[in-house]
Amino acid sequence: MTHDSRLTTHDSQLATKADLRLATNLHVAVIMDGNGRWAKRRLQHRIFGHRNAIKAVRETVETAAETGVRYLTLYTFSEENWQRPQAEINGLMALLVEAIQKETPTLLKNNIRLQYIGCTELLPAAVREKLQQCINETAGGTTMTLTLALSYSGKWDITEACRRCAAAVQQGRLAAVEITAATVENYLSTAGIPAPDLLIRTGGEQRLSNFMLWQMAYTEFYFTKVLWPDFSKQHFLDALKEYNRRERRYGKTSEQIQQ
């Protein structure tokens, strides 16, 4: 279902108070879609949309921390995105280095820890260097963990987990009969991080696009037509408000959940 409602000032204040209470310890994942279309509508190149998306990233990160979200994962660059025109890829990589450098003080101010997941050996050395520098500087953050999914795909993640499981069996560290869903999860790139409670996708599309396929088995989905550069604090709160209305049963009945 798509949601694009706007709250009045009074309702917004009430929603903020409720979300501050109910968002605590959530894991929110975001597919940041619509940068290219946003730029095209303004007769600009796609990179113009990516550059103007940084404000939405900053506002989302700060709002998530303010509302008590424990983990925030942003689908920053997919494995499939390497198929885009080289000029756009180069621009994105340069922008990523610039953004990491500029936003590190904001992460430190908000006590946020940065990490990343994905096939990162494909990333330029400058990107990996800036990422690692920011990771080291923010390692002590305890308010929220911000994860950037870079050169990431869900199929890659599951495949790598299977390879690591197989290697462990071959080396005698793991018996094949002992492999369970929990075992596989421990070999995923997200090991140690709970599965997302809520996925927000902007831009109007309603699909996962190969993002955290294993981890989102029971995630609640929230789709909005808002293009990512226009995504604001209020839009994030709208998503939390909708999430708070839903009943998560994990295969049980409503009566069992209410007991």
Q: Tell me which of 19, 33, 157, 197 is the catalytic residue.
A: 33
Instruction: Specify the pTM.
Output: 0.89
Q: Is 33 a catalytic residue?
A: yes
pLDDT bracket for residue 10 (50, 70, 90):
very low
Copy the structure tokens of residue 7: 């709250």
Domains and CATH numbers, the chain: 31-153+193-245 (3.40.1180.10)
Whether the predicted pLDDT of 15 surpasses 90: no
Per-residue confidence (pLDDT) for residue 64, from 0 to 100: 95
Supply the mean pLDDT for the chain: 91
Q: What are the tens digits of pLDDT across the range 35-73? A: 999 999 999 999 999 999 999 999 999 999 999 999 999
Q: In what order do the strands lie in the sheet with 71-78?
A: 112-117, 144-152, 71-78, 27-31, 198-201, 220-223
Which entry of 81, 110, 210, 244 is annotated as an active-site residue?
81
